[in-house]
Amino acid sequence: FFYKTSVTVKKTLQYNVPITSNYFFSSLCGSLKFEIRIHRLHHTFSTFLSHLFASLKIMSSKPKVVLAYSGGLDTSVILKWLSEKGFDVICFCANVGQHDEDFSAVEAKALHCGAIKCVISDLRKEFVTDYVFESIKCNALYEGRYLLGTSIARPVIAKEQIRIATEEGALYVAHGATGKGNDQVRFEMCAQALSPKISTIAPWRDPEFIESFKGRKDLLAYCEKHGIPVDAKPKANYSIDENLYHTSYESGMLEDEKVRYC
């Protein structure tokens, strides 16, 4: 099979170049045409080839996504799932003062699970000076009664995520927030405000992802299948979210009115 790529030189001159390799065949099948306009007649054929290879490299490269990564079960599964969907995943972990967090272990796990890169950003100073102090000064409350602790860290995390995405040339960001909570809104509204051209992938709102992972059992089975390390310690049936300013405990037995505490 011979596929011809047209190179149009300014005004009249045109070359028809036969392409026979398997790589070109797979890239150009389906009547895909490349047209490279060269604006000076003295451009050589080697220049044309360099332009052509550059175009093919762009076409064949995987899209990049920056994933807000904690190293936990959900985001580790999401990392592998995104990789299987054809993305180059760059993991991003924010240090906002989590107690006893081993960031080197988080980075190692991310790379083991298929990330092409893992960025650990120390945001503690910016978090305190630009967010914590400001929220205290304005007495920020949720619905007039709930002190903002966990939520106040989301904007600084989203800001850094977008910065990394822009720097890496990523067109997507992703998070592991549930499809029915407030965090998804915090992350995505910040991302849209800072860079409207970058799209957000929210797996816990994706029908295919939800159908595949209906509970913790499915997540663990996926980890076993793909060799994703899982914490051997029994998981509490409530969640903990920490930063320098605040620690939240929620869900599970803590919100079960039938549970009695001594």
Which of the residues are catalytic?
74, 154, 183, 239
3-state secondary structure of 240: strand
- The pair of structure tokens assigned to 259 is 């549970």
Backbone angles phi, psi at 236, to 5 degrees: -65, 150
Instruction: Please give the Cα distance from 196 to 185 (Å, whole number).
Output: 15
Closest CA to 96 of 157, 146, 43: 157
Residue 142 makes CB contacts below 8 A (sequence gap 6+) with 148, 151
Tell whether the torsion through CA atoms of 184, 67, 254 and 180 is positive or negative: positive
Angle, alpha carbons 260-182-135 (nearest 5°): 95
Q: Are 78 and 117 in contact (CB under 8 A)?
A: no
Closest CA to 251 of 147, 120, 150: 150
The H-assigned helical ranges of 66-148 are 73-84, 103-112, 124-127, 133-137
